Amino acid sequence: MTRIEELFDAVLTGNRDAAVEVARRALEASVDPQSLIDDAMIPAMDEVGRRFEEEEYFVPELLLSARAMKSVLERIKPLLSQKGTSHKGCIVIGTVQGDLHDIGKNLVAAMLEGAGFEVVDLGTDVSPERFVAAVEEKSAKLVGLSALLTVTMPSMKSTVEALEAAGLRDRVKVMVGGAPLSTDYAEEIKADAYADNATAAVRVAQALVGA
């Protein structure tokens, strides 16, 4: 088994210690760090996503794999910046103003990181102004808005409008998610897309930013 295959397996099975150890040995053997991401970990997370969609994996398995990938990423990130290699783009994510729920949002953030995006997680109860500031500061390509409560859904609309008012809307895509949402609602508030679970969010994000 090659080191790439070993890393793929370690991430797929959520074995953080094994993933970190394999990555360390691979780097010692001068394997290109970008190749660890592109050829091992992203394919592994794609497979995790497929298993989740097929209900072979559930949230705990998703969390374990995402954690394994994140642990390796943290160790190889400094090497990537030295080499001038970049991630797929920056995504700003958060639960909208008035809403404190974050379980679904956290899962989406973990999966997006697992797919190779830089994720800036603003947390919960995030005002439109904070979303705008983060998009500007990070030159984000995409914003992910989450809401669990019907009554906080209008905050999504306010956030889209704030991005528009700040002149950012033509360079940032907006995707929305959360239990009470739908594609219809996304269209109604002029968001670009709706995703109904964490793995769908990865697919939607990739499609929106052409990653």
Partner 1 sequence: MNGRERILTALEIREPDRVPLYIHGINEESIIGIGRHVMDGLPDPKQFHDMTEPERLKLLEALFLIHEEFGVDGFTSFEINQLRDLDATHAVDDWGVVYKRSPHGIPVVCGHPVQDVAALDRYTPPKPRREHLLLLDLARERFRGEKALFWLMRGAFVLSWRLAGMSNLMIEMHEDPGFVHRIAEMTTVFNLQMLELLAQAGLDVLVVEDDIADTKTTLISPKHFREFVNPYNRRLVERAHQLGLKVVRHSDGNLWKLLDILLESGYDGLNPLEPQAGMTLDRVKAYCGDRLCLLGNIDCAELLPHGTPEQVDAAVRKAIEDGGEGGGLIICSSNSLHPGVDPENCIAMFRATHKYGAYGNT
**Beta carbon nearer to partner 1, 21 or 196:** 196
Match 């997680």 to its residue by tokens: 121
- 58: helix, strand or coil: coil
User: Does residue 197 touch partner 1 according to CB under 8 A?
Assistant: yes
Nearest to 169 by CA among 141, 146, 144: 141
Question: What's the length of the chain?
Answer: 211
User: Does residue 152 touch partner 1 according to CB under 8 A?
Assistant: yes
User: Does residue 28 touch partner 1 according to CB under 8 A?
Assistant: no
Neighbour-count burial of 130, counting CB atoms closer than 10 A to its CB (0-12 exposed, 13-18 middle, 19+ buried):
middle
Sequence-distant (6+) residues with CB within 8 A of 158 are: 97, 128
User: Does residue 187 touch partner 1 according to CB under 8 A?
Assistant: no
Residues 101, 130, 138, 203: which binds partner 1 (CB under 8 A)?
A: 101
* # binding residues, partner 1 (CB under 8 A): 25
**Beta carbon nearer to partner 1, 7 or 195:** 195
Site for partner 1 in 37-66 (CB under 8 A): 55, 58-61, 63-64
- 200: helix, strand or coil: helix
User: Does residue 98 touch partner 1 according to CB under 8 A?
Assistant: yes
The residues that bridge with 119 in the sheet, in sequence order, are: 91
Cα separation of 202 and 101, whole Å? 20
User: Does residue 178 touch partner 1 according to CB under 8 A?
Assistant: no
Which residues sit at the interface with partner 1, rule CB under 8 A?
A: 14, 55, 58-61, 63-64, 67, 98-101, 103-104, 106, 124, 149-152, 179-180, 196-197
